[in-house]
Structure 1
Amino acid sequence: MNAVAARPRFSGHETFACRFAWLPKAVRLIARDPAALVDDERAILELGLGKNMVRSLRFWLEAFGVASARSGRWALLPFGDTVFGENGLDPFIERVETQWLLHWQLSTAVEAPLFAWRHILFKRMRADFTRSELLSEMRLEGERLGYEHSDVTLLQHADVFLHSYLGSLSAASPEDALDGPLVDLGLVQRAGRRRGGVERIEPVFTLARVPIVDVGAPVVDFAVASYWKARRLGESVLTFRDLAHGEGSPGATLRLDPEDLRDHLEHTTELWSYRPSGEAGNVTAVVPLDPDARLREIYA
């Protein structure tokens, strides 16, 4: 049975995309003093960031599934501890696989998904868009879901998505120009200009298709196991269509070409059994689903 997404998140990032150094710096602070990040003034002093950036950092820690706050203290979540903790597999985000994992974590939350990520990656039919087109779509989708957010809130949320993958489009300060951990993925690209919905020429952005060789086959296997466990738990067989196109699926989230994904599933016989069926196909897990094992295999 499909998991039903809870209330989406439209804000909390304080209009800042996550910076490369924020997650490792926050993890070290949590290890040193789990209560420090709760208090604005202490966090500002410890992290060397402004108040709004500290609040943004807290948002991204939770959005990436790295850490969360409970009872006045911050603690690492399982993913955060495995990758960024004391014996973490890549505590300083030195490998591109970690960047893909962060994109996966950010994009596939079942509870409280980020509205812009969910809309752009899973709800749109076309890969290309302008900011005004995106704003119009998000307004309609938000209203359909029963929300009445202002255009300012929606556009800020859309811009944070763009800045997360492209860097700042018009840096107002050196801090704004710093890249985040998702920029190197090349997942969002500039694609010229065209007349937008407000009758002016605007930049066009497009979602790229990414070869599995660039993502890494172990990352794809982790994504398959994670999707299966989070959204199809209890089902012994998944359709290829689900894995290639479903909301939160490996294909849609990692922007994989369907035939590339099909070829991967056919040849990774130690994990998956792919059986063609008409234009689609069915996939069965050969070994028990274990996203944690697949996560560690990425860094083996």
Structure 2
Amino acid sequence: MMQLNIIPKHQGALLFQSLSVCTKETEMGVDLGQFMILSEHNRFGFGGHETFPFRYGWLKKAVDGIQVLGDDRAIVELGVGKNMVRSIRHWGLATQMLRVRNGRQLEVSEIGRLLMQKWDPYLEDPASMWLIHWLLIYNPARAAVWHLVFTSYTKPEFTKGLLVEFLSDYAARHGLKVKESTVSRDVDCFIRSYVASRSDRELLEDSFGCPLAELALIQPLRDGEGFRFAIGPKPTLPLEIFGYSLFDYLERVAPTRQTLSLSECLYGQGSPGQVFKLDENSLIEYLEALQEYTEGAALLDETAGLKQLYCRRKVAPLSFLDAYYAGWRT
């Protein structure tokens, strides 16, 4: 049985009463109607990470050290080399903790402020890493390889060579000008983001490993060359993070629709099923739990043998995050 992290009904129910957009402050003081997390689907960005996956503490460094990320003070204040400073800046932007305003000014995003300065600054809760994973995948402008592998690559196993071939072919078919060597470096970094090397596993958390590896989404094969997606239940993925991702997905791909098939939730490009690598049984358990959690705002039903998700009332995706962290902090 999948372990779902569900906050008590009395903490969450009030957030799901015919909400088209939240416009009132919640009990945590967050006006959820003032911002929306969006991705730049018309742009694809490669490189920028300086070959480093982000490490433990880097996203907090990005948020806390935002004033020095653009100058030489960062080397001293952040305690890392120049290339790592550039990498920290990149990952702050790629995970949507930071954003660029007016084309050049760097600032902490609203979700970055909430997560890194209020909800979970040290990313102690595994839920926060699932959230960061979703935000990273939905930022193709800064992390095209991460986005494309989790949303468009459909095979259960891969090698580095197969991913480079898939991504290079995708770039050619869509007119993206990127060198194969750049794609290859991105694939290397992508794999090291989710698969800890033997030396990384032997080190402490605050060292060289990428925290995304804790999600165990990708596992190495015994041949030492290949990898496979870990498709199935995700015990550390809370219902609220799933709910946030589902309604975020709905707002992106079907903002005017009231129904979505189970197949679309599981296999649709960029769906929670694909991004979190869920199997059908796990997805159904989440959807059934979500039906109770939202008091019927999301309803899983079956008609003529076809399972459908009915969105009976609009729910602001960020309501789930606010409810989850309110419960986690108490």
TM exceeds 0.5? yes
TM-score by length of 2: 0.77
Partner in structure 2 of residue 196 of structure 1: none
Corresponding letter in the other structure for 1:56: S
1:178 aligns with 2:208: yes
Residue-by-residue CA offset, 1:241-285 (whole Å, 9 max, x unaligned): 222111221110011112221232134324211121455422123
Corresponding letter in the other structure for 1:167: A
Distance 1:210 1:60 in 2: 28
Partner in structure 1 of residue 36 of structure 2: none
- Are the structure 2 counterparts of residues 269 and 18 from structure 1 closer, same or farther at C-alpha, using a change threshold of 3 Å? same
Partner in structure 1 of residue 244 of structure 2: 222
Which moved further from structure 2: 248-257 or 211-220?
211-220
Q: Tell me the secondary structure at the aligned position of residue 214 of structure 1.
A: coil
Partner in structure 2 of residue 107 of structure 1: 137
Partner in structure 2 of residue 238 of structure 1: 260
Q: Tell me the secondary structure at the aligned position of residue 213 of structure 1.
A: coil
- The number of residue pairs the alignment matches comes to 280
Partner in structure 2 of residue 153 of structure 1: 182
State the superposition RMSD in angstroms.
Answer: 2.5
User: Do the aligned residues in 1 keep the contact of 2:258 with 2:312 (CA within 8 Å)?
Assistant: no
Distance 2:197 2:54 in 1: 11
Partner in structure 1 of residue 49 of structure 2: 13
User: Do the aligned residues in 1 keep the contact of 2:97 with 2:109 (CA within 8 Å)?
Assistant: yes
1:188 aligns with 2:218: yes
1:74 aligned residue (95, 103, 106): 106
Q: Tell me the secondary structure at the aligned position of residue 51 of structure 2.
A: coil
2:153 aligned residue (108, 121, 124): 124
Residue-by-residue CA offset, 1:26-46 (whole Å, 9 max, x unaligned): 22223xxxx32222x122222
Residue-by-residue CA offset, 1:82-105 (whole Å, 9 max, x unaligned): 1112xx110001110001111111
Residue-by-residue CA offset, 1:65-93 (whole Å, 9 max, x unaligned): 111233664322121111112xx110001
Shift of 1:150: 2.6
Corresponding letter in the other structure for 2:106: W
Corresponding letter in the other structure for 1:266: E
Distance 1:180 1:42 in 2: 25
Distance 1:279 1:254 in 2: 25
Q: Tell me the secondary structure at the aligned position of residue 206 of structure 1.
A: strand
Partner in structure 1 of residue 70 of structure 2: 38
Distance 1:219 1:279 in 2: 28
Corresponding letter in the other structure for 2:281: E
Shift of 1:212: 4.0
Uncovered stretches (5+) of structure 2, i.e. residues with no partner: 1-38
- Are the structure 2 counterparts of residues 113 and 52 from structure 1 closer, same or farther at C-alpha, using a change threshold of 3 Å? closer
TM-score by length of 1: 0.85
Distance 2:280 2:40 in 1: 24
1:263 aligns with 2:285: yes
Q: Tell me the secondary structure at the aligned position of residue 74 of structure 1.
A: strand
User: Do the aligned residues in 2 keep the contact of 1:212 with 1:261 (CA within 8 Å)?
Assistant: no
Residue-by-residue CA offset, 1:117-151 (whole Å, 9 max, x unaligned): 23322222311111122222222121111134333
Question: Greater relative contact order (Cα 8 A, min sep 6): structure 1 or 2?
Answer: 2
Which moved further from structure 2: 208-217 or 96-105?
208-217
Uncovered stretches (5+) of structure 1, i.e. residues with no partner: 194-201
Residue-by-residue CA offset, 1:167-199 (whole Å, 9 max, x unaligned): 35778xx99971112011101101122xxxxxx
